[in-house]
Amino acid sequence: MASTDEPLIEDSFLVEPDYFVEAKPLEPLSMPLYPPKALSGKAGLVTVGVRMMIDAEGQVVDVGPSLLTFSTPSRYSEEFQNAVRTAVMRWRFRPAQRSKARPNPTGAGGPAEELHWENTETYFDLTFTFTSSGTVGSGAAHK
């Protein structure tokens, strides 16, 4: 017999109509390459912050500067931005989803509304760190 301290798990549960599930990246994720011109110019350690816009199909549709993450000013800034853009435009995601309540079409014997999930657009702010040895690492997503 189950203890009364254990939670009961039911077959169904109510989800608020405005529930959001974040997009999930699908492996493999290509990393940016250290721009050859910047490497030969000894640009050193450089951080690039970008905002990626992801459409309702899970495709990256835009990559631009982030207002939430830091980018190191450099005479090679454009090359670093292009390297990041080239890599992340190849990324694919399981689309973000938002729940919506809609009227139950049958209306009889069930709830007045049923939950419906829709794919939706979203964005991520990411940081990439280019090291002087030519390697690249990525930072956690910010939202």
- For the chain, which residues score pLDDT lower than 50? 1-15, 142
Query: pLDDT at position 10, please?
Result: 42
Domain ranges of the chain: 20-138
Radius of gyration of the chain measured on its C-alpha atoms: 22
Could you tell me the sign of the dihedral formed by the alpha carbons of 106, 108, 110, 114, in that order? positive
Specify the CATH number of the domain 20-138.
3.30.2420.10
Residues 6+ apart with CB under 8 A from 138: 31, 126, 127, 128, 129
Cα gap 110→105, rounded to integer Å: 10
Cβ contacts of residue 25 below 8 Å, gap of 6+? 91, 92, 93
pLDDT, one tens digit per residue, over 65-95 is 999 988 999 999 999 999 999 999 999 999 9
Three-class SS state of 49:
strand
Cα–Cα nearest to 128, from 7, 54, 34, 42: 34
